[in-house]
Amino acid sequence: MHLMAWGNIYRRRMKVFSLAVVIYLDYKALQQREKWTNKSKRATLWEKAHQRNAKRVLRLIIELEGLWVKLGQYLSTRADVLPDAYILLLKQLQDSLPPRRLEEVCRSIQKELGMSMDDLFLNFVEVPLATASIAQVHRATLRDGQEVVVKVQHEGIKTVILEDLKNAKSIVDWIAWAEPQYDFNPMIDEWCKEAPKELDFNHEAENTRTVSRNSGCRDRRNDNMPRVDVLIPEVIQYMDGIRLNDSESLQAFGVDKLKLVEEITRAYAHQIYVDGFFNGDPHPGNFLVSKEPPYTPIILDFGLTKLLSSSMKQALAKMFLASAEGDYVALLSAFAEMGLKLRLDIPEQAMEVINVFFRTSTPPSEALENMKALADQRTKNMKVIQEKLNLKEKEVKRFNPVDAFPGDIVIFTRVLNLLRGLSTTMDVRINYMDIMRPFAESVLQCNISNGPALNAQWILNTPAHSDLEAKLRHLLVELGNADKILGIQVCAYKSGEVIIDTSAGVLGRYDPRPVQPDSLFPVFSVTKGITAGMLHWLIDHRKLKLEESVANIWPEFKPNKKDAIKVHHVLNHTSGLHNALADLTLENPLLMCDWDECLNHIALSAPETEPGHKQLYHHRSFGWLCGGIIEHVSGKKFQEILEEVFIHPLKIEGELYIGIPPGMIRTLLDLTGMTSRNDLPSIFQRGDIAQRVTTVPAVSNALHVRRAILPSSNGHCSARALARYYASLVDGGVIPPPHSSLSKPPLGSHPHTPTFASKKTPKESKGVNIKELFTASDNIGSSEQRQNYDNSNRESSVGKADSNNYTRLASDSSCSNNSYPTTADKGMDDNHQTVCKIFSNPRVHDAFLGAGEYENLILPGGKFGLGFRRVCTKDGSTIGFGHSGLGGSTGYCDITNRFAIAVTVNKMSFGPVTERIINLVCSELDIPLPEEFSRGTDLQLNLEKPLIN
């Protein structure tokens, strides 16, 4: 029977469409009939419908052959998706199609090889071993006695395949027009590109040799990678084995089906992630099992293979590890690297979809329930999309969330689905995360140097600002080679000028991109120093008083006898609310991402100690206490105040956030590893660290966490933005000159500007007239303003410098933020040059530290002043203020020496790297070394599992 004897392309297309309509109407009618049928009989009705429709599909596929057989083979492996009736019948397509006549086979062999059958073979078995969509195979013996398998392509199959591809393309185009959310064009386009290659047996032979060579290079592999044991026949070779669908033989030989499928999965993980060259057709018909222990899998048929570029291979590995870690940032970064674009910001749904691909496989008995759960989840996701875009019911059905789908992913996802179907068919449960992870990790780790010794560009190539910076870079290289640093930024100011601005290392353990000056590091409790500065700005602007009762500003805060808690208690960590959020975050740590829930919880909490009597670090509650006060006093969003107060005046746009806005993926770094520090809350001490340390980066790297407003711990900034902030504070609020042009890109040049919701309507609070506060004079430089900052008239008790010594700084001829007149005002220094200031109080340092006139507002002997940690020398002298973070990042300033420094790291530590850096810088500048960085500790904690970048 000639393949095209029954009709042309249009008749084939009509047969496909007709069958699709018949099956569709059959199921729709059954849905209506089901409503009037007893529940006990419904399962039987559906089973019969599946059986008759599966027979219809099988009959048509056998009749049409060609590409439709490939589709049937694919469907036959999806026991996790299709009912048993389809799987049982479509299995026949794996290698049991009606064979071609021997005359046709002999004719093809003689035509291709130019020799007669007698000249080629001593023996040729007429009954084929298997018949598939493109070819059939016969066992034979060559004239030299070698046992071989002869694969013979069907006559005319090339024409049929190409015509069927056109048919499939037309059908997909029609579906995309009728139902845009089911646009499969990227899949069919990739199939049209790859499928014809299967028709070139010379191409298949070379593919076989390549995969065989790759699998044989085990001696050069990473020692940590699991061994892969599979057999691949030579191009001219016969291997005897058991078919995977021969359950009786597998049982008779004692084959462990779980180990068998795990080994196949490992082989494909190696092909994809390590080799970047893999077999794209792992259906059961393309596998055998050797008949000798240890019953090794034999992989056949390399007609359909896929070659991945190095960048795509890394992106796929990164996507897998992002799924394994639940790291939304890494997932979206992987999408961007592979060219996958989404039409809207739905990272949670994207993560769900990827998790579906890599989820543990299920046996057939659980497949139906699993598919129902996935269908329900898809319905929920579409409702979310509908709400986000305000779509009507008809519009959401036509919405496709994918804007660009790279072709390389098509064969990759096909392989994942076929492997899942294979495990379901074999009735085994496979944990893909555990099996594939070592291979995904290896490909990323082997593409990243372990440090500067192997990477000449490890230190970003920018000119050094000083000899000190050159010395610092030598130290960073030393620490990098010792594997103490993954990625780092260091920036320092001295007397208002930049003296250090260095970036080094890579964005993450699995991300080889270099750290740039504007890369954003998560800095944890460093954030508290920024939040405290915002509160002091409101005080400086007469919108708030340090001795004001918090309940007077924030009426909801009054319950549980919190009337006595003043603003200065909050800043000094003496409010007694140090555990105010402990029970909330213990119940569900992710509740800390809910701003309103946290504020409500704080407002209803009860103090554990009397205000002002005990200083206990408010490591979680501090930020929301300050945040609640900030929003209630200002009537604005927390982020709006942050931008108005510091971001715009300092020109650090795009380089300092508390809560990352959507779209900020390019410059983000993520956390890995951790070492130790002993000045933190008890939950982070060595006794508990083994249980908690691995969860800190994993939770912090989650995108919904990084987007949340966590004013205690969710700052994301560059070191140069943080150093510029402290350089301004050390000079009493004077804005430093524009940042040095030696650093590229220019500070504040990031194009992204976050948007905020509409302003809150200010609430009337007893004792505070909000309207009056906002209409009060904003002449920051006036004498009245200076007098109203809580009686700050005495000489500073910090250091020996007078106010002029740390506020005198010439700037450019005009104020750097004329658009923000209420934030930074102009003044004149002693040289009659214009300066711009954020704060007007000449004793603002006393206010930060709780010194001088403010000394009665803090608990004596404590580490904290009013919002900032006091920076002291070993002899107890206070030299400045700042705040460090859990992961090792820090920012502080030395008032007497007009010095400010920031260090940001992404390999979490408890301070040894930062300590070495601060020691070097202070020593070279001959300025006091803070006691915090003079302990000489070098505690290291190595995590068993690396954390995704």
Catalytic residues: 281
DSSP result, 745-756: SPTT--------
- Bin 799: left if φ > 0, else alpha if -120 < ψ < 50, else beta: left
User: CB-side exposure of 503: number of CA atoms within 13 Å?
Assistant: 24
Give the tokens for residue 848: 């930060």
The C-alpha atoms of residue 918 and residue 939 are separated, in whole angstroms, by 17
Collapsed DSSP state (helix, strand, coil) of residue 360:
coil
The C-alpha atoms of residue 914 and residue 917 are separated, in whole angstroms, by 5
User: CB-side exposure of 706: number of CA atoms within 13 Å?
Assistant: 31
Q: Which residues of 466-477 are buried (b: 16+ CB within 10 A; e: fewer)?
A: bebbebbbebbb
Contact 636, 913 (CB under 8 A): no
Give the tokens for residue 604: 């209803």
Give the tokens for residue 123: 């023996």
Enumerate long-range contacts of 334-343, CB under 8 Å, 24 or more apart.
336/665, 337/311, 338/312, 338/406, 338/408, 338/409, 339/404, 339/406, 340/402, 340/404, 340/405, 340/406, 340/409, 341/402, 341/403, 341/404, 342/401, 342/402, 342/403, 343/399, 343/400, 343/401, 343/402, 343/403
Q: Count CB neighbours of 199 within 10 A.
A: 16
The C-alpha atoms of residue 282 and residue 279 are separated, in whole angstroms, by 7
DSSP result, 335-357: HHHHT-EESS--HHHHHHHHHHH
The C-alpha atoms of residue 923 and residue 110 are separated, in whole angstroms, by 86
Contact 883, 525 (CB under 8 A): yes
Contact 851, 836 (CB under 8 A): no
Q: Identity (one letter) of the amino acid at 739?
A: H
CA quadruple 773, 778, 781, 784: dihedral, nearest 10: -40
Contact 686, 676 (CB under 8 A): yes
Q: Identity (one letter) of the amino acid at 827?
A: G
